[in-house]
Chains A and B, each alone.
Chain A
Amino acid sequence: AQRVTQPEKLLSVFKGAPVELKCNYSYSGSPELFWYVQYSRQRLQLLLRHISRESIKGFTADLNKGETSFHLKKPFAQEEDSAMYYCALSDPAGGYNKLIFGAGTRLAVHP
């Protein structure tokens, strides 16, 4: 079955430190992966998607099919990055996609 695993519930770093939020997935086909973020008192929103190969707010994520991972990285964390981060996998089974989310990782960036 398709599954997304985020092994860390909480990741705590200091401002300026590198950040890596881990995401592993299980999927039999060619996956489409996403990172969503929820800042305090805001709605869950899309951060980036792997097909775009983009960098958003300094974050990047590389799809590693061999390791079935899609880790989110940022070289220098900022306090405003503190938020809940969810990795998600698109499951097009049956012809209609749905997003399967991981349990989320809370990132806390300390001054």
Chain B
Amino acid sequence: DSGVTQTPKHLITATGQRVTLRCSPRSGDLSVYWYQQSLDQGLQFLIQYYNGEERAKGNILERFSAQQFPDLHSELNLSSLELGDSALYFCASSVGVGYRVPGELFFGEGSRLTVL
């Protein structure tokens, strides 16, 4: 499958812990986007990377950080976890940055994080 892959699919952890979510973009895509979807909420944009560099930032908490590696995969690190961080975290990729009109975003299946 050459689509966007996310691991793990499910993760259960305790408050105060730290987790890392991983995303591999589609082959050839240089941009990676992270979104958070909490219960009854839409997809909240967190952060975007293009070819290893941060390009756009949304309402990402200081406890959260991300990076994109030379092989273009990306990791989202969530630390000092709170109950409210429980959500579905989506990664998406696109060919380019899309200065004016974004290229189509291709989404992964998401990583469901449960904080107990």
Contacts and interface: CB of A to CB of B under 8 A. Distances in A.
A99 B56 contact: no
Nearest to A90: B102
Interface residues of B, number: 29
A12 interface: no
B41 A103 contact: yes
A32 B108 CA distance: 23
A17 interface: no
Contact of A103 (B40, B45, B48): B40
5 contacts: A9-B40, A36-B105, A92-B100, A97-B99, A99-B105
B101 A4 contact: no
B45 A44 contact: no
A44 B45 CA distance: 15
B12 to A, nearest CB: 22
Given A90-B101, A98-B58, 6 more contacts: A32-B101, A43-B109, A97-B97, A101-B42, A101-B43, A103-B41
Contacts of B70: none
B107 interface: yes
